[in-house]
Amino acid sequence: MPETQTEINKCVEILENGGLILYPTDTVWGIGCDATNEKAVEKVYQLKQRHDSKALICLVANDVMLEKHVEQVSDLAYDIIDLSTKPTTIIFDKPRGVAKNLIAEDNTLAIRVASDKFCKYMIGKFKKPIVSTSANISGQSTPKSFQNIDSAILKGVDYVVNLHREKQNSSASSIIRLANDGTVKIIRD
């Protein structure tokens, strides 16, 4: 695992300096940055050519980090996280401690507890949540493999992780909206 550790260290260095990384996630290749850094989040929106009213997903390393950035994590949320057979992103009410331009207009944030080992270790070492958005220009299709990533994205990030580039990624995560009042809505299956 020395190469993995080297990649993690490089990513953490870039993230700490407000830079963007391109990295393999538990779903598709993602563009990431420090989810608590408003300027870094703005760079992601610019790179994707996406309006910042369209919210981004955030990855955390574990339940403890999740609880730190959400006012209320229900038992149902833990059940979904523990029992899901595929990566599942949950939209939570009242996020806290993240960049303001990452929070949707209705005061929600989409968060996924990373299941990919590389992501878990990297986020754990960074000690803060990171943005995770598909590695494509807004409106274009999500690349299914590293080879399909647009050159504008590759050139627009500060670091490209040199692991799992041969991996054919499955699909985007499921997205479920869990309101604090108990309302559940499936956004993307």
Domain boundaries, the chain: 2-188
Question: Which burial class, exposed, middle or buried, applies to 77 when counting CB atoms under 10 A from its CB (0-12, 13-18, 19+)?
Answer: buried
DSSP state of 65: H
Residue 170: predicted pLDDT = 62
Helix axis angle for 117-126 and 2-16, nearest 10°, is 50
**Check whether domain 2-188 has CATH 3.90.870.10, yes or no:** yes
pLDDT above 70 covers a percentage of the chain that reads 96
- Predicted TM-score of the model (pTM): 0.92
Structure tokens that stand for 164 in this block:
């799992």
Angle, vertex CA 179, rays to CA 178 and CA 180, nearest 5: 120
Residue 73: predicted pLDDT = 94
Residue 144: predicted pLDDT = 80
Residue 58: predicted pLDDT = 96
